[in-house]
Structure 1
Amino acid sequence: MIMHPAIKLRHIRVFLAIAAEGNLSAVARAQGVTQPALSRSLAELEDLLAAPLFRREKRRLILTEQGALFRHHAAAAVQALETAAAVLHPEGPGGRIRVGILPTAATRLFPVIALRFRQIAPQVTLAVETGPHSHLVRLLRDGAIDLMIGRMPAARDMAGLRFEHLYEDPIALVSRAGHPLAGQPVAQALAACPLILPPGDAIIRRAVDEYLLVLNRATPQPAFETVALAVGRGILAGSDALWFISRGVVADELQRGTLIEWPTGAAFLSGAVGLTWRQSGGQAGPEKTGLDLIRRLAQEEAAHMA
């Protein structure tokens, strides 16, 4: 069912105010309107939606199941509209938002978010910081960045931070296309080829080490350690090396066919990707508005990737 074109923003605001207060007279006083006018607006909305939004219990209005569902989505929609409007008019000549980007989000997710953000808020600068997970978490705690996008921090690092899940990103084992051992068992290829592993402090390294143990192989001495796309891609192009890396880092190369993925059959080689910020970040005004917009754009793009 498509939303009735006669539904106006005033209907939604009236509904949300009544849902919050549970009382018509209190909302009428707060908005400076008469209670009958408020009742008419609510009745119009229920007629247009063809659904009862409240039930009356003594002097209070209680949300029905349909009303609670509508409130959830209506509140998010109004917040999105307010965010979009506010971010166009930050205080002063412009704003600056500091974002830390981990490799798994750097090649596909964040560029799309950044370009959409630029269209909506061209006067706001996105200052991007990259680096290993431990480095960005430290910057986040110190207030040097406002938000981090990438894999979820380890449990030991989550004190004082909040994480919002966007999607799951597997750890892939990849090589150049045309690898001479392509199609052979993974264990055989791992024993015969140089390995590129994530650095020891990378958030995905532990899962890779566990996978190698499952294959009855202690973590070998790697030929190289990196999660940098340019470095890993260059080494793979000139050798028969195999690279354990977040699939999000090499997704474009896999799609183009310049790299191939080896089947690991390990469901645990996957992890949450999302947004991390300080619980007591204290952002206010345009900065908070900009961060809210980035979060909403990230949610929308992650939904397209799912």
Structure 2
Amino acid sequence: MPEMRGDLLDGRIKLRHLTCFLEVARLKSVSGAASMLGLSQPAASKTIQELEAILGVELFDRSRRNLVPTSFGEVFLRYAGASITALKQGMQSVTQVEGGVSFTVGALPTVSARILPAAVTHFSAQRYGMKPRIITGPNGYIISQLRLGEVDLVIGRMAEPDVMKGFSFEHLYSERIALVVRPGHPLLQPSVFDIGAIGGYQVLMPPPGSIIRPTVDRFLVANAIGPLADEIETVSDSFARSYTRSSDAVWIISEGVVVDDIDHGLLMRLPADMSDTLGPVGLTTRTDTPPSLPVQLFAQSVRAVVAERIGPR
């Protein structure tokens, strides 16, 4: 372990060691981390080796195809992530100028259309003088930004249990997955809907790694659908929305993404029983650092909007 002098940490541990370690742990790959950080793979490998030498322990199990933290690595991951977050919060607190960003919210597409606009409106109406920054993206990216301290709060579906280590989830409501098509689609015509018939049409699917893909795969297997003859994987809601409205494709997506389209008659929900696809939607925060006051106030606005629009849990 690092040599200590009083209460001082070993000065050889630099910020680059921590950020590289966190990215390798997140991506389970040195090459992936190197790409994200703008480093060469040898440079990233050397950085991890330096950190292991300083600590005197192996942080990753290299016997597997994907790098996974050792027991030492799991412990260090928790503290490294907390230290990076605390440092960023401290810098923001002393460098923030009037009119600057007070906090950052990461939102998955499932809430970006259904909940987030109303929550921002509610928050802004309180005139706190705090400005949120809103970013959206796939679950893996948003959660990684939360772990690195780049995001203060995530709103969306709960991640898989292994991803939720070090995070706290507050359930707000449950949301199902929807099968949507354009108005006048042939599948809307039969008096008795056959779920298996969607296999005969082009299907827009969430890609592997997206938060709802495992649920979608289980649903298709349970209904004996597949393999799909014509499948397009996409994370682009704007593309999928436009493509579905102009073709006979079936779009499989979280209901919250398309609820306004359905309410306005721009897209139609197929009459399939989707009760088995219900998943929890809520607020994800770090467990090792308390949410700042702006984050707590924004969370209150989110809760108020959910209570008004969706009702009690």
Counterpart CA distance in 1 for 2:154 and 2:206 is 19
- Counterpart residue number, 2:63: none
Q: CA deviation at 1:120?
A: 1.6
The AA in structure 1 aligned to 2:135 is E
Aligned to 2:285, the other structure's residue is in SS state: strand
- Could you tell me whether the CA contact under 8 Å between 2:206 and 2:234 is conserved in 1? yes
- Could you tell me whether the CA contact under 8 Å between 1:166 and 1:298 is conserved in 2? no
- Could you tell me whether the CA contact under 8 Å between 1:197 and 1:245 is conserved in 2? yes
- Could you tell me whether the CA contact under 8 Å between 1:197 and 1:222 is conserved in 2? no
Counterpart CA distance in 1 for 2:246 and 2:261 is 15
- Could you tell me whether the CA contact under 8 Å between 1:146 and 1:281 is conserved in 2? no
- Counterpart residue number, 1:127: 133
For normalisation by structure 2, the TM-score amounts to 0.64
Give the 3 Å change call, closer, same or farther, for CA 279–273 of structure 1 in structure 2. same
Structure 1's unaligned 5+ residue stretches are: 1-90
| Residue of 260, 264, 287 corresponding to 1:279 | 287
Tell me whether 1:99 sits opposite 2:82 in the alignment.
no
Query: Residues 8-87 of structure 1: matches in 2 within 5 Å?
Result: none
Q: CA deviation at 1:225?
A: 1.6
Tell me whether 1:190 sits opposite 2:189 in the alignment.
no
Q: CA deviation at 1:259?
A: 0.6
- Could you tell me whether the CA contact under 8 Å between 2:196 and 2:225 is conserved in 1? no
Aligned to 1:104, the other structure's residue is in SS state: helix
The AA in structure 1 aligned to 2:186 is P
The AA in structure 2 aligned to 1:150 is G
- Could you tell me whether the CA contact under 8 Å between 1:227 and 1:245 is conserved in 2? no
Aligned to 2:187, the other structure's residue is in SS state: coil
Question: Cα deviations across residues 185-241 of structure 1 (Å, max 9, x unaligned)?
Answer: 343431221000111111111111111111212342553222432111111111100
- Counterpart residue number, 2:186: 180
Counterpart CA distance in 2 for 1:203 and 1:182 is 28
The AA in structure 1 aligned to 2:168 is R
Counterpart CA distance in 2 for 1:222 and 1:151 is 27
Counterpart CA distance in 2 for 1:213 and 1:295 is 37
- Counterpart residue number, 1:164: 170
- Counterpart residue number, 2:239: 231
Counterpart CA distance in 1 for 2:196 and 2:156 is 32
Runs of 4+ in 1 over 4 A off after TM superposition: none
Tell me whether 1:216 sits opposite 2:224 in the alignment.
yes
The AA in structure 2 aligned to 1:248 is G
- Counterpart residue number, 2:22: none
Question: Cα deviations across residues 113-139 of structure 1 (Å, max 9, x unaligned)?
Answer: 111111223632211111100010111
Q: CA deviation at 1:273?
A: 0.5
- Counterpart residue number, 1:147: 153
The AA in structure 1 aligned to 2:237 is L
Give the 3 Å change call, closer, same or farther, for CA 191–225 of structure 1 in structure 2. same
Question: In terms of Rg, which structure is larger?
Answer: 1
- Counterpart residue number, 2:266: 258
Give the 3 Å change call, closer, same or farther, for CA 278–126 of structure 1 in structure 2. same
Structure 2's unaligned 5+ residue stretches are: 1-95
Report sequence identity in percent: 33
Tell me whether 1:110 sits opposite 2:116 in the alignment.
yes
Give the 3 Å change call, closer, same or farther, for CA 272–219 of structure 1 in structure 2. farther
Counterpart CA distance in 1 for 2:229 and 2:116 is 33
Instruction: Report the count of equivalent residues.
Output: 212
- Could you tell me whether the CA contact under 8 Å between 1:103 and 1:228 is conserved in 2? no
Tell me whether 1:207 sits opposite 2:212 in the alignment.
no
For normalisation by structure 1, the TM-score amounts to 0.66
The AA in structure 2 aligned to 1:159 is K
The AA in structure 1 aligned to 2:298 is I
Aligned to 1:168, the other structure's residue is in SS state: strand
The AA in structure 1 aligned to 2:129 is Q
- Could you tell me whether the CA contact under 8 Å between 2:199 and 2:228 is conserved in 1? no
Counterpart CA distance in 2 for 1:189 and 1:211 is 14
Question: Cα deviations across residues 255-298 of structure 1 (Å, max 9, x unaligned)?
Answer: 01111101221321110110001111245xxxx11111111111
Q: CA deviation at 1:181?
A: 2.4
